[in-house]
Amino acid sequence: MSTIKIYPPRQLPNEGVSEVAFEIWKEELEIYLDIDDRFIKFLPKGKYDKWEPAETYADRIKQLKPEDVAAEVDITTVRRELRQFLTIIAKLIHEDYYHPIIRHSTSLDWIYTRLRQDLNIQQKGIHFMNIIDMKFDITEQTTPIGFYNNYRSLIMGNLGKKGDKILWQDSTLAQDEKLSPSHEDLILLNVLFLLHPCLPAFIKEHYSDKIGNQKRLMDYKTEILNKAKMYIEEIQSTETQANFIETTNAEVGEETDPQCNYMNTRRPQQRFRYQRTPFRNNQRRFQQTKPSTSNYQPNLPPFCRLCQLSNQPKTIYTNHYLGDNNCPTISEKDKNQLIERASAKFNHLQLEEPDIETEYGYDPLPNQQIEHEQ
């Protein structure tokens, strides 16, 4: 008969441990220790699940249980097995916790509590409010199912245990608290809100005929969470289109609903549609249009773009043109170079004058006379 070999969990780091990762490490640790009959009695609810700290009592266990006394068990053996038990646990945690576990621990639950405190993953009391820090980023590697498990773990960690005092009710729990079906539905609904604010409305619209009055939201948990990213991308795409429509309507003075409405898919008016360039002979022809000269103003007021980009006061960049001698942004050397370059271009510029004589029916003048007039 073949057997399954159980390996110890990976060493727990001293930071960056999530609630789910800690629970996995905790479960694997107890399973690994449970395969040895010598260590079962030191696990939670075992015969020796509590012991003394080494500072108080070096041997940790003061006396045997009555059944072990009747069975003539050697107390030295029990103490030695506890030491081995603690050493194994200490080696599976970062070395920062080796000494506290070996010297200060009083139970395995004490070790769990100490780790939760140092790793900042406590669940009860004010630490339950850590749930408000949970955020979902669709670009990260965390899946919606993983995010749901993390959220639910925080809820489960805050459940009451038998014997807990409920002060606001002035009562004591007679048994461990458990999640009800309606509570499970509420947890999934809260997760959908955290994944995307519009996702619950999207689910309500698309799953209304499936859930109806007979089924629960949790019946479709796996399907919804597996497709959550696809739903979110569809919502974001619709929101982008709705934002374009809202901007377009604002330009023409129409009112739009500011609330989140993923069904707001009104088509823009015809005059706001994009016009595609027609194809001729299976080739796209681009026409370059020249700027209109109908609005050209020959006497423009002074303006220097360079001074404006240099954060000069308005009184400065509106009292001269670009390249003027009184421009404070351009150096004297740059001004001289601009003048030299402009002069060089004008020197090579050839002006062609129309033959006025020819237009009026006369013969052009001889070349010598033309050069003289020039």
pLDDT tier for residue 355 given thresholds of 50, 70 and 90: low
Rounded CA separation 287/342 (Å): 32
HSE (CB half, 13 Å, CA atoms) of 349?
Answer: 8
The string of pLDDT tens digits covering residues 221-260 is 999 999 999 999 888 888 777 676 667 666 655 555 554 5
> What does the pLDDT look like over 97-140, one tens digit per residue?
999 999 999 999 999 989 988 888 876 777 677 778 788 887 77
**Res 81 pLDDT > 80:** yes
Q: Where are the domains of the chain?
A: 19-119, 125-159+177-272, 305-345
Spell out the residues 6+ positions from residue 328 whose beta carbon is closer than 8 angstroms to its own: 307, 312, 316
- Considering Cα of 81, then 87, then 90, then 96, what sign does the dihedral take? positive
CB-CB contact of 82 with 61 (8 Å): yes
pLDDT at 65: 92
Question: Does pLDDT of 361 surpass 70?
Answer: no
Q: Helix crossing, 181-195 with 144-157: angle to 10°? A: 130
Evaluate the CA torsion angle 257, 262, 267, 271 in order and state its sign. Answer: positive
Helix pair angle (199-211, 228-252), 10° resolution: 120
pLDDT single digits (tens) 260-289? 554 444 444 444 344 444 444 444 444 444
Provide mean pLDDT across the span 173-179: 89
- Residue 47 pLDDT grade (very low, low, confident, very high; cuts 50, 70, 90): very high
Chain centroid to CA 61: 50
Q: What sign does the CA torsion over 179, 182, 183, 185 have?
A: positive
Structure pTM? 0.50
* Structural Rg of the chain based on CA atoms: 41
